[in-house]
Amino acid sequence: MKQKIMSVTNKSEGLKKKVYKKDGKTTQYGICYEIHQKWLNSYGVYSASEITLSVKRIFDNEVFYIPLKIDQINDLDLAYNVYDMGYNSGRSTAIELLQECINIFLDDDNAIDVDGGIGKFTLAALNFVLKSKFKKSFVKTYIKFRKAKYIDILDEYRESKKHTDTHLMNCLESWNRRCRRIS
């Protein structure tokens, strides 16, 4: 499962040995140096051009896969979407969306906190929903929540007037391609 998820996400992120510069930030292999500078420095990486594929593999695992507890999500399509959302928009965003979706499928008395952390209560509630007759609907709902979040992000970008409408439409198309089943 892990290899499949990372492979699909890496195709979206790009695995070219090229440093991209945008908005004062530098990225290589899908890792933004300025956002993850502290972690990268701890591995002896002091610029985006020094990010290697071996560092990327460790980074993907330590910064996203393990903290998002992907191995404990018992559905490949959901696990992929949570991982990819975390990679693309941040771990807490991915988990908050997951928690919001879980609460749709639970009684109000059993609702969990939407706090962006994935602990034992979130995992127990998630496994309850994934074992129910609503599993398929739940995965579809998470994918729809991802798409809605991307539209919210694009609205913020548009209001900032830092990006052209063409750029924003390209982002929307790219992000929507990521929101899918992989099984």
Residue 126: band (very low, low, confident or very high) from pLDDT cuts 50, 70, 90:
very high
The answer to whether 9 touches 84, Cβ cutoff 8 Å, is: yes
User: Which residues are within 8 A (CB) of 21 and not within 5 positions of it... i.e. 6 or more apart?
Assistant: 27
**Residue 165: pLDDT over 90:** no
**Residue 17: pLDDT over 90:** no
Output the average pLDDT for the chain: 93
- Which amino acid is residue 140, in one-letter code? K
Distance from C-alpha of 165 to C-alpha of 17, rounded to nearest angstrom: 28
**Residue 166: pLDDT over 70:** yes
The answer to whether 145 touches 101, Cβ cutoff 8 Å, is: yes
